Structure 1
């Protein structure tokens, strides 16, 4: 009879990644630390060295996904670019991350409280994602450069967010097969929608 190991490699990270797969496949009702232990080929008690319970692991998965996404946007920033070109780069990084990490995209889509915003007095706010705030702050700089009225800021931010999220889903799910790079498509869409040229 084989004895399963308690540790091998970075077990905590492996459990987060396997937990992400399981959550996307089975949802919270089909999620358990025992199942994660089996997926990681460790003893059913091993997860408790890292997580109090399944809710603790789910919370860690949420934090990990948001952190990975935020870091991908932060690491893509080229502050030497003008606000319009930087906005395009942020959009491209958003789509690239979601397309290359479809498990993350699915998780974020079905956990709307993780990556969501709310309208307050005509402004759009998000408190749990650095990347959203980077996106919004740079959008405002771009609007200022083009003399866009403040009353149009929120609508334009929602439009741009819808575009990058929509293209992400379409490309990641292979609902559309492009005959060009998505960064070229995104550039054209944003310029057309926002009348930037």
Structure 2
């Protein structure tokens, strides 16, 4: 039996990316560290040098994607916080992130266990959504939108951005245009 090679380089990141791919393909129920190791072509014990168990790997996968997502979103509005254009820029960054990393959408919203509480403004929802919500509420306040309407408008804006991201990451949906052009946040307000 041929032994798997000892892995040099950034095995931790490769395990995370392989894990995301496998969960998206096979689902969480058949997910294992052994399968992730095989996907990376390393010994079945190699992942244990980075993760003590499957739960730790899944958690690291969520953190890995969330950090990248937050970096993209934050940089899109840096220096423009509270401005009218911030929500549009944030929506564009949201779509751009999933255009660049379509594999992350399914993992985040179907397998990672994130929670987004649309009913409770003070909840500790998923950080990218909290940033989106905060930015939207700042815009709503700046245009004088009555507070009673804010939550409905937030859901409408997020549904538009999130919906576009869901469509562009779906392998069964074909569109020849530019997904970013569909984002009409500027025309909504």
| Same-fold status (TM-score > 0.5) | yes
Q: Which position in structure 2 is the counterpart of 1:145?
A: 142
| Pairs within 5 Å for 1:5-154 | 5-80=5-80, 83-111=83-111, 113-120=113-120, 124-154=121-151
Alpha-carbon RMSD? 2.1
What secondary structure sits across from 1:184 in the alignment? helix
Aligned residues: 188
CA distance in 1 between partners of 2:79 and 2:159 (Å): 24
Deviations along 1:69-126, whole A, 9 cap, x unmatched?
1111112224247622111000000011112211100112213731522413xxx355
More off after superposition, 69-78 vs 90-99: 69-78
Structure 1: 4+ residue segments shifted above 6 A = none
What's the TM-score, normalizing by structure 1?
A: 0.85
What's the TM-score, normalizing by structure 2?
A: 0.88
Q: 1:183 aligns with which of 153, 172, 180?
A: 180
After superposition, the Cα gap between the structure-2 partners of 1:154 and 1:128, relative to the gap in structure 1 and judged at 3 Å, is closer
User: Could you tell me how far 1:185 is from its partner in structure 2?
Assistant: 2.3
Runs of 5+ consecutive residues of structure 1 not aligned to the other structure: none
After superposition, the Cα gap between the structure-2 partners of 1:72 and 1:63, relative to the gap in structure 1 and judged at 3 Å, is same
Runs of 5+ consecutive residues of structure 2 not aligned to the other structure: none
What secondary structure sits across from 1:58 in the alignment? helix
After superposition, the Cα gap between the structure-2 partners of 1:107 and 1:186, relative to the gap in structure 1 and judged at 3 Å, is same
CA distance in 2 between partners of 1:118 and 1:153 (Å): 11
What secondary structure sits across from 1:47 in the alignment? helix
Deviations along 1:154-175, whole A, 9 cap, x unmatched?
1111111100011112223262
Higher relative contact order (CA 8 A, sep 6+): 2
Q: Which position in structure 2 is the counterpart of 1:164?
A: 161
After superposition, the Cα gap between the structure-2 partners of 1:74 and 1:81, relative to the gap in structure 1 and judged at 3 Å, is closer
